[in-house]
Chain A
Amino acid sequence: ETGVTQSPTHLIKTRGQQVTLRCSSQSGHNTVSWYQQALGQGPQFIFQYYREEENGRGNFPPRFSGLQFPNYSSELNVNALELDDSALYLCASTRGGTGGTVGEQYFGPGTRLTVT
């Protein structure tokens, strides 16, 4: 088990609504990345937060936004939900700022979002 936690576990929303997902990073980790995993696919990078600022973004529209807090926990917000947003949303934490060396990323259990 990693020290990464996510809430809620499951969520059902209606198209057009907004949703907020939460992630607590592993102790000592200052970087959080969010991924979307559609059924039967590998995770796709949404964005990353390092020291409370967005530090890279994948091919996702602006209605996907995020925050990172001083304790390094993070939120993912999705506005104007679409049916295709139904997926498992994963966060991963790592220790950043190590001279550009990629650190191991540890994933949480995910939030299963269903949009109807």
Chain B
Amino acid sequence: GENVEQHPSTLSVQEGDSAVIKCTYSDSASNYFPWYKQELGKGPQLIIDIRSNVGEKKDQRIAVTLNKTAKHFSLHITETQPEDSAVYFCAASRGGSTLGRLYFGRGTQLTVWP
């Protein structure tokens, strides 16, 4: 099955700085890579996703890049704010008969200091 690894496990940045979280995956058939933000006591919230036919996607302060050859993808958050503090999860999935079973990384605890 798929194996998703995520680094770092914790990340502390000053408000206004950038944050980068990196993930690798093992299954070359994976073609969908979402990122989730999970705040304390809440369910994961989809913040951005990318499909394998695209190398980069941006949504305001958040961007995701994908390198299919190296099997890694990254989340970039610019101009970080204290409300960005949360646990971030990357995930990988493929289409087909199982309609999007998600394989998650172990998460990154992001802390943004004011």
Name A residues whose Cβ lies closer than 8 Å to a Cβ of B: 2, 4, 6, 31, 33, 35, 40-45, 48, 50, 55-56, 58, 90, 92, 94, 96-97, 100-110
B interface vs A, CB < 8 Å? 4, 6, 31-32, 34, 36, 41-46, 49, 89, 91, 93-107
Given A109-B42, A109-B43, decide whether A104 and B99 contact each other with a Cβ distance below 8 A. Answer: no
What's the nearest-Cβ distance from chain A to residue B18, in Å? 23
Interface centre among A40, A102, A106, A109 (most CB of B within 10 A): A102
6 tightest A-B CB contacts, nearest first? A42-B104, A56-B98, A102-B100, A107-B43, A100-B95, A102-B32
Chain B nearest CB from A8 CB (Å) reads 14
Say yes or no: A45-B103 contact (C-beta < 8 A), given A55-B97, A100-B96, A105-B34. Answer: yes
Residues on the B chain within 8 Å of A106, using CB: 46
Tell which of A42, A90, A101 touches B107, judged by Cβ atoms closer than 8 Å: A42
- Complex: chain A residue closest to B100, CB-CB: A102
A41-B107, A110-B43 as given contacts; A103 in contact with B100, CB under 8 Å = yes
Asked if A102 and B105 sit within 8 Å, CB to CB, the answer is: no
> From residue A26, how far is it (CB to closest CB) to chain B in Å?
12
Q: Are B46 and A56 in contact (CB under 8 A)?
A: no
Given A102-B31, A107-B43, A109-B42, also A56-B101 (CB < 8 A): yes
Question: Chain B residues with Cβ under 8 A from A31's Cβ?
Answer: 99-100
A102–B104 touching, CB < 8 Å: no
Please give the distance in Å from A48's CB to the nearest CB on chain B.
6
Take A102-B31, A104-B49 as given contacts and tell me if A90 and B99 are in contact as well, using a CB distance cutoff of 8 Å: no
* B106–A42 CB distance below 8 A: yes
Contact between chains at A94 and B43 (CB < 8 Å): no
Contact A102 B43, beta carbon cutoff 8 Å:
no
Chain B residues, Cβ within 8 Å of A90:
43-44
The complex places the Cα of A40 from the Cα of B16 at a distance, in Å, of 27
